[in-house]
Amino acid sequence: MAKVKNLGLYIGILCIIGIMAIFFFDAYIGIYDTLYVTEEGWEREITFDRTYPEHIGTEYGEAIYFAYAVTNNMFEEYDTYIEASVWRGDEKNLTLFSANESIAPFDNTTVKWVLETEKLEPNTNYILKINTDTFERIIRMNFHQPPKEVIIYAERGTPLQEIEKEEG
């Protein structure tokens, strides 16, 4: 039997490659979702990797545009039901989107919907729930109503508008 030189080196290299392959597949294989929110002209990406729920808010009367992307990095097809709804406490107020989606292996799909804030009450805390067959995502929402008139007060406590009238 022939003696193999550097057998330990070859075994060590194979072990390192095996460990790297395990970390790669563990980090890559799975179902991943991302929510893209466009509010007041700004787009945000929410990846749901934080332990606390995200918060979105906009001025009452403005529309919020959502795009929810689900990526299937698995070797089999992923069939799921996706529902996005707005809740206030334990009460469901509005269903924004619901559909069955089938995602091929190593493919993705994106669903879009729009939330018209006029359908809800201003200055109230809401929760956006995105439910699939596998998981539930929660985003806190608030729609602030701007004040009807802004009055700036001077140092003496008199409205600035009245001070300007007295001077003029």
Q: From residue 38, give the alpha-carbon distance in Å to each of 56, 122, 146.
A: 10, 19, 19
* Mean pLDDT of all residues in 103-110: 94
Mean pLDDT of the chain: 85
pLDDT the model gives residue 86: 95
Distance CA 104, CA 148 (A): 51
User: For 63-74, what is each residue's pLDDT tens digit?
Assistant: 999 999 999 998
If one compares 25 and 120, the residue with the highest pLDDT of the two is 120
Q: Calculate ∠ Cα 66-125-91, nearest 5°.
A: 85
pLDDT the model gives residue 41: 83
Helix/strand/coil for 81 = strand
* Mean pLDDT of all residues in 132-154: 80
pLDDT the model gives residue 126: 94
Q: Where are the domains of the chain?
A: 31-144
% the chain with pLDDT above 90: 48
23 has pLDDT over 90? no
* Mean pLDDT of all residues in 116-125: 89
pLDDT the model gives residue 87: 94
Distance CA 105, CA 162 (A): 69
Superfamily of domain 31-144 in CATH is Immunoglobulins (2.60.40.10)
21 has pLDDT over 60? yes
Q: Name the residue type at position 110.
A: T
Distance CA 151, CA 161 (A): 8
* Mean pLDDT of all residues in 117-139: 91
Q: Name the residue type at position 14.
A: L
